[in-house]
Chains A and B, each alone.
Chain A
């Protein structure tokens, strides 16, 4: 069994998976055994979605859930990782940092333009123009919402909708995505690591 040693890419700083099991490496294409994809030993990643561009973030997350960033990728087996997405809707955390920087004379009215900052971002006029549609099944039952309205109502759904469209069909992989409003999530026991996003344009520009 050949032991893979650390490579010079960013994966050096992430926990390396167990070396995959091999037999007759040159005549049989590697296929994962049961111990190569045990659910309890999969990596858990955490991402903070505040101020990140929706599509670019969703794309990276979907790649990690699907397992396409791993050399051991197999389309028929779920080799991907779990991803936790959280983001803060709380406008007061920005107020605290601002009053620290600018002193206590800082008025809330100055901040109104920043209140929308602590959410998933979308460039251009998508906040008011991007539509989310669903149909109840009955005639005339089409319901349409804008990005803004859906964000007021159920903000998790925006990220889930984006990522669901990027994953293969079926609930198995989609259930590996956990989205939470607010900075807390119940998965502290999983000891998740920060997800490195290589896309340079994922952060919203001001």
Chain B
């Protein structure tokens, strides 16, 4: 077989990868072997967390709504609010309710009072 130098093939490949890791901290953006590993870990985290993100935000909205709803009065809670929402077939989702809870608390109280009737 004739002699074949590998040339710049590997360097080109690694340059693409290191572009991805250019904002990483310390050795993770400087050393080629570490860069490949960290890039893989980063992509795995991103893939897994795209699904987690949906769960995490829903949790956050529920917590925020719960906090504000407890201020309505005795024995009113997030669970009762959601039950009333479904009973009256009001299609507001938790994201919107949470944003209303933060920006305009009285509006949320008005909605919950309307649904309770």
Contact = CB atoms under 8 A, between A and B. Distances in A.
B95 to A, nearest CB: 7
Contacts of A29: 57, 60-61, 95, 98-99
A154 interface: no
Contacts of B95: 29
A20 to B, nearest CB: 6
B109 interface: yes
A2 B103 contact: yes
B85 interface: no
Interface residues of B, number: 21
Contacts, number: 52
A30 B67 contact: no
A72 interface: yes
Given A7-B71, A26-B96, A30-B99, A68 B63 contact: yes
A99 interface: no
B59 to A, nearest CB: 8
B64 interface: yes
| Contact size range, A | 20 to 34
21 contacts: A2-B103, A4-B106, A5-B106, A7-B105, A7-B106, A9-B71, A10-B71, A11-B71, A20-B102, A22-B103, A25-B103, A26-B99, A29-B98, A30-B98, A70-B67, A71-B64, A71-B67, A71-B102, A71-B105, A73-B67, A75-B60
Given A2-B103, A4-B103, A22-B103, 13 more contacts: A2-B104, A4-B106, A9-B71, A11-B71, A26-B99, A29-B61, A30-B98, A30-B103, A68-B63, A68-B67, A69-B67, A71-B64, A71-B102
Interface of B: 57, 60-61, 63-64, 67-68, 71-73, 95-96, 98-99, 101-106, 109
Rank and list the top 7 A-B pairs by shortest CB-CB distance, nearest first. A9-B71, A2-B103, A71-B68, A71-B102, A7-B105, A71-B101, A30-B102
